[in-house]
Amino acid sequence: MNSQISQPNAADVAEAYRQCAAIAGRGIPNLYLAARFFKSPVIYNAFCAAYASMRIIDDVVDELPDRENLSELQKKQLLGKIQDWLGNVRDAFALEPDEGPVWLALSDMFSKFDLPTDPWENLAAAMVMDIEMPYFKDWRTLQKYMQGASVAPAVVFMHLVLTRLEDDEYICEWSFDEVVEATEDLAIFCYWTHILRDASRDLEIGEQGLVYIPLSELTQFGLAPDDLRRMKSEKKATFAFKAMAEHLFRRARTHEQKGRHHLANVAKTADLDRVFALDFLIDIYSATLDKIEKIDFDIFAEDGELSLDEKRNILEYTIAEDGVDADEARKIFETVFRDA
């Protein structure tokens, strides 16, 4: 945690956090939905500032019309934007934020919470990979990418889950490395779920679409990116795709099982509201995998995304599992979707 260099205007900081919450909550990503169950406004605001800062650069890369055919000049300009963004993060960490509400809120967050810039550095490295390679060669390459694209925001979330307020200071008794160890498998499990769920939808991004399944995995099952595009057009998965998806499904479940082994230790440290938030998040992704399996892995014919009612059912399951105040949890959930 850094010590405060100068005291910013409280009203400006409050407004900065409000704007960060709007950015973080856009589209109601699962990580944001889970964070809404944090009872502490300070810890919730910290999440929003961190997540909003990450979404800024992620959106720049996601909105590229055609990553596969970027010119060298375009790549240079984009790599410059990534470095500028990382410079903004480092300035916020030094408590000398650049102009803009996100950087003001992020700087305030760094002044309160003992987080290094590693997650942001890893995200920047992943964004560079997005620019430099239109496809992932193999699982090892994708796993490296996941350290920034998935593990980075998840580690911030887990750090905040494990943080306690003691003598007016926010303390995480776990070392950063311990937090990463407890988070990594769960984050990879969630990202594999995203890849499977969104394999069809990702093909709508840009002119060529995005393919996150590594080429080596596709080749193992006699597939290529153009085969995915044809399946999307025909709205039907082939037997080969279903076999590959089941293979990736099993890999995701393996990471889920390994990650869940850490949850007992997390529960010993974290307050109940944040244990619930984490459990709810994991239950959402686990149920998403269940749904993908139920539709026989044909995400081209049926949407693997959970409906609002399905998420309500998961909420009820996690409420019963963790024993939190049911009325309060339901109210928070309905408020998130009502205000979207």
Question: To which H or E segment does residue 267 belong?
Answer: helix 263-269
Question: To which H or E segment does residue 165 belong?
Answer: strand 163-166
How far is the first Cα of the chain from the last one, in angstroms, to the nearest whole number?
33
5 located within any domain: no
pLDDT in tens, 198-215: 999 999 887 778 899 999
1 located within any domain: no
Q: What angle do CA 37, 198, 215 make, to 5 degrees?
A: 130
Q: What total number of domains does the chain contain?
A: 1
- In this structure, what is the dihedral angle of CA atoms 262, 266, 267, 272, given to the nearest 10 degrees? -130
Q: What angle do CA 64, 61, 201 make, to 5 degrees?
A: 70
Nearest to 44 by CA among 277, 251, 286: 277
pLDDT (0 to 100) of residue 112: 96
Spatial neighbors of 34 by CB under 8 A, at least 6 apart, are 157, 277, 278, 280, 281, 284
The Cα 33–Cα 230 span in angstroms is 34
- Spacing of C-alpha 261 from chain mean position: 20
pLDDT (0 to 100) of residue 182: 96
Per the CB < 8 A criterion, the answer to whether 297 and 224 are in contact is no
pLDDT (0 to 100) of residue 194: 95
Q: What angle do CA 225, 228, 229 make, to 5 degrees?
A: 90
pLDDT (0 to 100) of residue 8: 78
**If you ran DSSP here, which 8-state letter would residue 173 be given?**
-
Please give the residue range of the domain that contains residue 268: 10-338
78 located within any domain: yes
- Spacing of C-alpha 164 from chain mean position: 23
pLDDT (0 to 100) of residue 191: 96
Nearest to 78 by CA among 41, 128, 15, 29: 128
297 located within any domain: yes
Which amino acid belongs to residue 248?
Answer: L
Distances (CA, A) of 321 to 277, 280, 283: 12, 10, 11
Q: Tokens for 170?
A: 């926010």
Phi then psi for residue 36, to 5 deg, are -65, -15
3 located within any domain: no
3 state DSSP class of 115? coil
pLDDT in tens, 41-66: 999 999 999 999 999 998 888 777 67
- pLDDT by residue for the chain (340 residues), tens only, comes to 555 455 778 999 999 999 999 999 999 999 999 999 999 999 999 999 999 999 999 888 877 767 778 888 988 999 999 999 999 999 999 999 999 999 999 999 999 999 999 999 999 999 999 899 889 999 999 999 999 999 999 999 999 999 999 988 999 999 999 999 999 999 999 999 999 999 999 998 877 788 999 999 999 999 999 999 999 999 999 999 999 999 999 999 999 999 999 999 999 999 999 999 999 999 999 999 999 999 999 999 999 999 999 999 999 999 999 999 999 999 999 999 998 7
4 located within any domain: no
CATH no. for residue 156? 1.10.600.10
3 state DSSP class of 38? coil
- Spacing of C-alpha 60 from chain mean position: 16
Spatial neighbors of 105 by CB under 8 A, at least 6 apart, are 13, 16, 17, 19, 20, 45, 48, 49, 52
pLDDT (0 to 100) of residue 180: 97
Which amino acid belongs to residue 279?
Answer: D
